[in-house]
Chains A and B, each alone.
Chain A
Amino acid sequence: MFSNIDNEAFIKAFQETIFMSFVSTLFVFIFGLLLGITLFATGKQSINQNKIIYQISSIITNILRSIPFLILIVLLVPFTKLIVGTILGAKAALPALIIGATPYYARLVELTLNEKGKYLIETGQAFGASNYKIITKIIIPESLIGIIRGITVTAIMIVGYTSIAGAIGAGGLGNLAYLYGFTRNQIDVTILATLLIIGIILFIQLISDILIKKIQKT
């Protein structure tokens, strides 16, 4: 068991996976939150109801969400080349990871904001708050747990996406597992890569649970 393990290769792959997951989660958090707030704010009976903006954001979100990730990577090759300069390596995986996961997270944000949205808007407006204050001082703080849960689920999904990206040249643990396990039949490499990926996911979940426990008022 584990006779084929090359420590250096593993450390490098692990770092690449962490890098891809972390950086894209960070961007997805920012873009997804903004898109989610836009969807929420322009939605029906919201603070800034705007059918056109809502429909455009909504359609883009739905289309991007329905493209399988592997195909999205391929579709984005020209774009990736333009932005990153190459289509190989961990950096090159970022555009696809970010574009693939942002709409997903945006929908989760929209959902969670809508949960108590109606009465929170009513409350803010009744006390003379501007739309900006309603979002920043009332709705986001009240929806913080949902926002964190959402980014947790999304981050876990992104870790999964990195291994798909890895398989077609982005490096990382997915690449390692595929390269050695699948093409060279070194199953122990695949198992170790899998265990490490599970470890990363459990770690994300742990951080999220700790955060939520800290802010939940019960």
Chain B
Amino acid sequence: MITLTDISKTFKTKQGTFNALKNISLSIEENTIHGIIGPSGAGKSTLIRVINQLEKQDTGTVGVFEYTDVKKLNKESTRMYRKRVSMIFQNFNLLEQKTVFQNIGLPIILHQRLKETDITLIRELITLVGLNGYENSYPNELSGGQKQRVGIARALVSKPEILLCDEPTSALDTQTIKTVLELIKTIKEKLNLTVVIVTHDMNVIKEICEEVTVMNEGEIVESDNIDNIIFNPQSPVTSGLLGTIGLDIKQFISKKVTKENMFVLLFDKSIINQSLISRVVQIHSVNINILYANITPNNKGIMLIEINGNQSKIQSTIKELINRGVEVKHV
């Protein structure tokens, strides 16, 4: 759906040139919520802005929809393209002098007068984002969460297929973050959207992202589905980010001296309720220490265990676990 190939972007600054994106290649699947995470300055915003061409790449191509390279589109086609790729912003970017209703209608008002059908659509969107009764309020009468809801409704008014979100919750408090993310998830399902979320906050990724791309210093560190990112992080940057939400298994491992008999388990929700470990312990008469256990965003169980017993018993224990549908990784 979105195919970035060999994207590079250099900014000229007073200190010289700065490579914000270095040969980035990335595919984003249709109908997924794809997170892009990395420390500040990693190039995340630049990358997401290349997708809707608010920023033009120096080299490489951005293929979206039927277009092989959206950079080649002329002004008029770029405008049409941007109606299909909407955006929400960290600071909401609402117009202070316009009401909620007018703000949501803005993408239409910019092109033509509001028709009866547009007014109906705006009303529906106000209901969808839960802002009934606020139609005639002005942005500075709203809370941060409500402002972002206006931003979301405004982004949906052009009936886009892709929703780009640049740090959509970074200006919000923890409680509000959850509700806004829930809303994004809901509209994605309802409207079959492809959602790209840029964030520096691993909680956001954990909460709603199915696919994750980790960026650092203008490069992609790794890109995978959320379970693999958590179960099997490839880079210290990823581990560091996982550590911020207590999901970095390596933290626990490094504290232990012997790693010989330590394993990471990943298993389905159905297994969580089966008291798996105690059964295996009984059958194979081994001793199992659970060093760490958590549940991933996709409701999978993840566990770090240490098995004590002789080698053949350990081996049969692992076989048993694998047979029961558990993914086992030796540390």
Contacts and interface: CB of A to CB of B under 8 A. Distances in A.
Given A125-B82, A127-B154, A129-B79, 9 more contacts: A122-B54, A127-B86, A128-B78, A128-B80, A128-B83, A128-B107, A128-B158, A129-B110, A137-B110
Interface stretch (A90-98, A138-146, A157-165, A179-187): A138-146
B89 A128 contact: no
Contacts of A129: 79, 110-111
Contact of A126 (B54, B75, B96): B54
A70 B91 CA distance: 47
Interface of A: 119-120, 122-130, 133, 137-138, 141-142, 144, 215, 217-218
Question: Nearest 10 A-B pairs (CB), nearest first?
Answer: A128-B79, A128-B82, A217-B138, A127-B107, A129-B110, A123-B93, A126-B87, A133-B110, A119-B93, A128-B83
Contacts of B54: 122, 125-126
A4 B138 CA distance: 56
Interface in B230-272: none
Contacts of B82: 125-128
B113 to A, nearest CB: 12
23 contacts: A119-B89, A119-B91, A120-B93, A122-B54, A123-B95, A126-B52, A126-B54, A126-B86, A127-B83, A127-B107, A127-B110, A128-B78, A128-B80, A128-B83, A128-B111, A128-B158, A129-B79, A129-B111, A141-B97, A142-B95, A142-B96, A144-B97, A217-B140
Nearest to B95: A142
B290 interface: no
A137 B97 CA distance: 11
A215 B109 CA distance: 20
Contacts of B75: 130
A133 B79 CA distance: 12
A143 to B, nearest CB: 9
Contacts of B80: 128
B106 interface: yes
Interface of B: 52, 54, 75, 78-83, 86-87, 89, 91, 93, 95-98, 106-107, 109-111, 138, 140, 154, 158
Given A125-B54, A128-B83, A217-B140, A138 B111 contact: no
A189 to B, nearest CB: 46
A120 B80 CA distance: 19
A144 to B, nearest CB: 7
Given A128-B107, A133-B110, A217-B96, A123 B79 contact: no
- Among B81, B111, B138, the one with the most A-chain Cβ atoms within 10 Å of its Cβ is B111
Contact of B97 (A119, A130, A215): A215
A81 B111 CA distance: 47
Contacts of A124: 110
Contacts of B91: 119
A119 B96 CA distance: 12
B140 A127 contact: no
A122 B89 contact: yes
A133 B75 CA distance: 14
A130 B140 CA distance: 27
A89 to B, nearest CB: 42
B314 to A, nearest CB: 56
